[in-house]
Structure 1
Amino acid sequence: MSYDGTARRALTSRRSHRSLLAGLTAGALAVPLLAGCGSDEDEAGKPLAGQDIAQVARSQVADGGTLKWAVDAVPETLNTFQADADSATTRVAQAVLPSMFRLDATGRPVADPAYLESAKVIETEPRQVVLYKLNQQAVWSDGREIGAADFVAQWRALSGRNSAYWTARNAGYDRIEKIERGASDLQVRVTFSRPYADWKSLFSPLYPKQVTGTPDAFNDGARRKLQVTAGPFRVEKVDTAKKDVVLTRNPRWWGRPAKLNGIVLHAVPRGERAAALADGSVDLATIDAADARRIDLAAKGAGSPFRGGGKTSVKTLRSWALAHGIASDGAKAGRKKLRKAISAYLEEQQALRGFDVRRSLEPAYTQLALNGSEGPLADERVRRAVARALDREELAKLVLTPLGLPAVPVGSHLALAGQAAYADNSGAVGGQDTKEAQALLGDAGWVPGGPVKEQKKTEKAAGPEKEKSDEESDKSNGGKDGEYIVGEDDKGKHHESAGEERGEDGGKHLAQEGRQGGAPGAYAPQGTAAPAAAPAAPLAKDGRPLALRFVLPAGPGSETLDTVAERISVMLERVGIRTTISRVPDESYFKDHIASGDYDLALYSWPASAFPATDARPIYAKPAPAADGSVNVEQNYTRVGTDQVDQLFDQALATLDEDEARSLIRKADARIWATAGSIPLYQRPQLVGARKDLVNAGAFGFQTPVYEDMGFLRKGAKGPKAAPSSASPSGR
């Protein structure tokens, strides 16, 4: 899962011991799923939104200073190949370690000239051989040249042949047959036992042999320190007490010198980011939509509710507090406590005038997952009916339009707009069509009538509306805590958005950077009410109603997923599908529900990858029986897969023809769409609060950050130009 858009390669495979039920209909692929995907025309286009990093030339950046950058937590490990690595681990590795290839602004891998003079396939028969020619200046911080010994040690650690190494993944490394020194110490020959199209994914990052040379060093030696590095920065210390990872300039760095003296990665919870920016604890932080609105409001110099002589009524102060997203405890307090809370808020607003919001789209998308292992969704026709009931454009607009970002539905499971493999293959399942959805349900045996019990939905207190008594609430939700039933009583009613229910700043970002167990998803915009529409008659089959359990996280920041889920529920209701929204604790959302298969519908996100043949395969692989009798689903939490999809991934991995590989990936995506196990909805927004004088940093989009160019604007220098409308490639 993705919480911050880190590469799929950093994710670990998981196993579910839940039985897989066969529910795919015969002839599942007898649909127009190949339309357009076999064309040689490159449909990738440009990224929907360009990066927004306040880009300036290095000459405009001051020398010195320390950048304080917010992360969710101090990383548990500095080894990106371990299961508990997170986005902060990745951020450290990018700044202090070599990567043979990094991503450009379109999400394509490009050789990093700081480490490579060249890297290419020099032989294909009888074996694939890749020759790396290293930059002759590239050295580790202990003075030793980067060379074949480091490549060999990393290959042996990650090949999967020695179980003493606690690795999270070995994809690609398990295809290497041998690694040798080339014609000189600066050349490394890598010979593969089987063709491997995604060879550019390997050795990025590259650890020194001191880390990968032995299981003990790999498992424990790099968890809290990296003594040997080779980047523009080095790890000074990991301070768990202060919740900091301190990076300082690497004195042995041979490339363009870092502009900053140091970078401090400081752990700040998502809900405290605005306050941390305001008090100077951090200069740069990924924020949610509510905090972005606060910063935008601060720039406009929004006024105070206080009037002369302190005569403002408590009612007026409470209304103002609610409208500006001040904590509900403060909004319900007495005058003195309320005035104090508002005064603190206004002080923060004044400080936030020194910041701006940098906006782009994350290299990640939010999807609706349909559990195809059992129940009604084991029937592909029912899954396809769900897909045909959705207006994906409406859902994208719900989330992205209020943020000023392009609201274009994602058309691929395996790539995003701008990436080479991208093509809109959603036609394989078809667009929104109520009649077609109802026809599919009828064909599956779900027809109007039958013993469908009437259930009332639980009303929510929405802003100034009258709150129900406890007794009324108990009656309206049938006594079940945390459940929200969309049924007959929703006729003609509007579902209120998170913004309407929780005030102007009610939305919270659901994602938590790189953490397992959080709930990846969306940002809460100021939504609009769903259009009222008469629901279809309840459907039943064999005396059972067609009802699906929609599982969502219940923790702070879940407002947007609530909004999106309720809008989806209304769309499904129009074709006769009833949903029960069940909210579960954040900490158990993935482990106890998504990974274990305890859900019918769910919302979570996947990151895009530059190497989908490698990284996406475990997400869409057909579940297979394990030796212990359980079912190995890897990361395929929808439990929907086909032999054809697996074969296409295998073929894409085995061809060294990039055009052919791209065509195979698009064909695989079309077949994934056709099975309707998951429905991509929208690319996630990327919102970053940044000091106005901080340049070459912010919302990076696809691109790997260039750490040595970050810094603060030099006095007297011209400020950055406006962010471009689309990204363009750039390297070191």
Structure 2
Amino acid sequence: MRTPPAARRTGRAAAAALAVLLTATACSSAGGSGGDVAKTVSPTVDAEDNNPQPPENVKDGGELRLPLQQWITQWNPYQVDGRYGDAVEIMYYTEAKLFRVDAKGVFHPDPSYLVSAEVTSTSPQVVTYKLNPKAVWSDGTPIGYRDFAAVWKSSNGKDPAYNIADPSGYEQISAVEQGADPSEVKITFAEPYADWQNLFNPLLPASGLSTPQDFNEGWVEKTPVFGGPFVVANADKTAQTITLTPNPRWWGPKPKLDRITYRVLDAAAITQAFLNNETDLATAGTAAAYGQLKDAPDTAIRTGTPWDEVHISFGGNGALADQRVRQALGRALDRASLIKIANKGVPVEFKPLGNHLFMTNQNGYRDNSGDWASYDPATAKKWLDEAGWKDAGGTRSKDGQPLELHYVLNDASNQAQTDLATAVQNMLQQVGVKLTVDKVPSKEYFTKYVNQGKFDLASWRNTDSFPLSQTVAIYRAPQGDNVFGNYSKLSTPEIDTLLRKAAATLDPAQAAELYNQADARIWELGHTVELYQRPSIVAVRKGLANYGAGSLASIVITSVGWQK
């Protein structure tokens, strides 16, 4: 997902977030018990710290104030520009999020929307949804099969006029029909799709998706219809604030909060805003932020282990169009030293990551990096020689052209990310590559550079790419101008085939094997050098219940509030 704080995919989302900012975003699962961070935290599959409280211990009313690092322009999470992390998270509160995910990554139907949802046939695969008959859109229209059909038809990739983010899952569907009555929906798949629970999540109304213009432009600077426990009551672009209030047509559990207020703040201003009691959450994931926040009054530091990775991506243009050059750069980078730079001053362990698809705390994780990510400058030099980039002392050259590359860095980067870029620059210089670090405006980092593939090297985060089918878009082959999430535009037919087979494999062990085979090929491709899995470390106002630092679990926003 795609611009500052964190990129996520819909479902458990995947938009990209700035590793530069090292922020923990609203995707963290709710708050914690307080206290200081342990000296080291070794992620476990269900680690979260969200101060869980039953409804009777949470006050009715009150406001939650959250930072927002970029103004939201596109609110449709199925549209290619709608993958900004905070926008996706807000849509989960204001639209029909059919399933909740628990801390171990298991999907459960949300009873506010679904009486049941299950596979009712395997040949072909048929999924039958039984809808809660009370579920309605904010315009009074009942939620029904036409909404499912509209999401499918707009996102299956068959009509290029719909500028979609990712057709995965939707392109496997052959029919969406009404079942036995208006509250039943039957989805038939032409080929199996294991992560079907992650589709239609959130469900959007047919009225907002029926034409390409509605899909692409109808959600720009507005949300036409709501279907969740909250609505966007006000979006003040001048003041850069967005206010959510309870949906008056909401039929489910009454939200505890009266209001959720988001305010756009530069990364550097978030810490101070928290200290000034202007927000109720701030990232504490850097040495500077942690040092200021850990002893702040009325503050709890909470940690969790969500799906969150930091990497360095290679572009696919110029010298980097040559796979051997990309492989050489991977051997020139000392990952252990880069991780130490990022981890400095933060008392939570940043785990080295040897897989593009699985986190270290997920079942199925295997380190497939092999020699592709092992620090070996001699081999890097040898491979650059073989690629025709000769070392005549200083910067290498080929056909009279110097080997000069550009590292695109967000100008709001913290000191650790600036130091990391400088370290990469020095490491590549040792093998004869001149790397220039280009600082670009934070609001243009994704839109004008990363999303457009205008970088040689760049670092950001992918968050919440769970279930694993959500990672497919990051590595699949672009189609025309649509790169999905593969901003490097690097791919192979073998990787595409393995990822598609894995996503269609219902047996988890067999699917994991296929995903790991694909991951090994991604390492060989020289697409991305994974650095580390990033724990969530946040400072929250004491007394905040059911919100803070999470794992794979969804936030149940109706339960979030202030402890009695």
Cα distance change of structure 1 residues 560 and 188 upon mapping to structure 2, 3 Å threshold:
same
Matching residue of 2:413: 557
Residues 89-126 of structure 1: CA deviation (Å, up to 9, x unaligned)? 2232211222223333344544333322332222233x
Q: Is the 8 A contact 2:15 2:463 kept in 1?
A: no
RMSD, aligned CA: 3.5
Residues 75 and 384 (structure 1), Cα distance of their counterparts in 2 relative to 1, 3 Å cut: closer
Shift of residue 670, structure 1, vs aligned partner: 0.7
Aligned to 1:366: 310
Distance across 2 between alignment mates of 1:262 and 1:619: 35
- Matched AA of 1:402: G
Equivalent residues of 1:552, 1:562 under 8 A apart: no
Measure how far apart 1:592 and its partner are.
Answer: 5.5
Specify the SS of the correspondent of 1:353.
coil
2:193 alignment partner, SS class = coil
Match of 2:297 among 339, 344, 353: 353
2:65 to 65, 68, 71: 68
Per-residue deviation, residues 586-634 of structure 1 (Å, max 9, x unmatched): 2555566545555443323333412444x4334323567x5xxxx8755
| Partner of residue 525, structure 1 | none
The Cα offsets for residues 316-348 of structure 1, whole Å up to 9 and x where unpaired, read as xxxxxxxxxxxxxxxxxxxxxxxxxxxxxxxxx
Give yes or no for contact 1:225–1:237 (8 Å, CA) kept in 2.
Answer: no
User: Which residue of 434, 456, 459 corresponds with 1:579?
Assistant: 434
Larger radius of gyration: 1
- C-alpha displacement at 1:61, in angstroms? 1.5
User: Which of 136, 139, 149 is the matching residue for 2:146?
Assistant: 149
Give 1:406 shift: 1.7
Deviation at 1:563, TM superposition (A): 0.9
Instruction: Decide which of 54, 57, 61 is 2:54's aligned counterpart.
Output: 57
CA contact (8 A) 1:128 1:192 kept: yes
| 1:406 matched residue in structure 2 | 349
Give the Cα–Cα distance (whole angstroms) in 1 for the partners of residues 15 and 54 of structure 2: 39
- Residue segments in structure 2 that go unaligned for 5+ positions in a row: 17-41
The residue matched to 2:307 in structure 1 has which SS? strand
Aligned to 1:681: 531
Shift of 1:217: 5.1
Other structure's SS at 2:192 match: coil
Query: 1:567: Cα distance to partner?
Result: 2.3
Normalised to the residue count of structure 2, the TM-score between the two structures is: 0.82
Counterpart check, 1:5 vs 2:3: no
Task: Indicate the larger mover: 182-191 or 438-447.
Answer: 438-447
Provide the residue aligned with 1:238 in structure 2: 235
Q: What SS is found at the alignment partner of 1:272?
A: helix
The one of 193, 196, 216 equivalent to 1:196 is 193
Which residue of the partner structure matches residue 500 of structure 2? 650
Equivalent runs, 1:202-601 vs 2, <5 Å: 202-213=199-210, 218=215, 221-226=218-223, 228-286=225-283, 289=286, 290-296=288-294, 299=295, 352-361=296-305, 363-375=307-319, 377-427=320-370, 429=372, 431-441=374-384, 444=387, 450=392, 452-453=393-394, 547-553=403-409, 555-574=411-430, 576-586=431-441, 589-590=445-446, 593-594=449-450, 599-601=455-457
Count how many residue pairs are aligned between Structure 1 and Structure 2. Answer: 533
d(CA) in 1 for partners of 2:222, 2:257: 21
Give, in whole Å, the separation in 1 of the partners of 2:348 and 2:282. Answer: 19
Secondary structure, counterpart of 1:281 in structure 2: coil
Cα gap change, 1:5 to 1:51, in 2 (>3 Å): farther
User: Structure 1, unaligned stretches of length 5 or more?
Assistant: 14-44, 300-351, 454-537, 715-732
Shift of 1:132: 1.3
Shift of 1:693: 1.9
Give me the whole-angstrom Cα distance separating, in 2, the residues matched to 1:417 and 1:118. Answer: 32
CA distance 1:248–1:677, change in 2 (3 Å): closer
Cα 1:374–1:240 shift into 2, 3 Å: closer
Letter of the 2:342 partner, please give it: V
Change (3 A) 1:380 1:236: closer
Write the distance in 2 (CA, Å) between the matches of 1:183 and 1:633. 39
**2:20 maps to what in 1?**
none
Decide whether aligned partners of structure 1 residues 220 and 633 sit closer, same or farther in structure 2, where only a CA change above 3 A counts: closer
Residue 620 (1) aligns with residue 564 (2): no
SS in 1 for 2:176: strand
Q: From the superposition, tell whether residues 590 and 207 of structure 1 become closer, same or farther in structure 2 (CA, over 3 Å).
A: closer
1:277/1:46 Cα in 2 relative to 1: closer, same or farther (>3 Å)? closer
Task: Give the corresponding residue for 2:561.
Answer: 711
CA contact (8 A) 1:132 1:188 kept: yes
- The amino acid across from 2:111 in the alignment is P
How much does 1:635 deviate? 4.2
CA distance in 1, matches of 2:88, 2:152: 19
Q: In structure 2, the residue corresponding to 1:402 is in which secondary structure?
A: coil
Q: 1:251 to 1:543 in 2, by over 3 A?
A: closer
> Which range moved further: 360-369 or 180-189?
360-369
Residues 514-550 of structure 1 deviation map (CA, whole Å, 9 limit, x = unaligned):
xxxxxxxxxxxxxxxxxxxxxxxx76777777x4424
**What do residues 234-283 of structure 1 show as CA deviations (whole Å, max 9, x unaligned)?**
33333334433222233544443322222222323322223322443322
Shift, 1:178, TM fit:
1.9
Task: Indicate the residue corresponding to 2:173 in structure 1.
Answer: 176
Q: Contact (CA 8 Å) 2:283, 2:289: kept in 1 or not?
A: no
- TM-score, length basis structure 1: 0.65
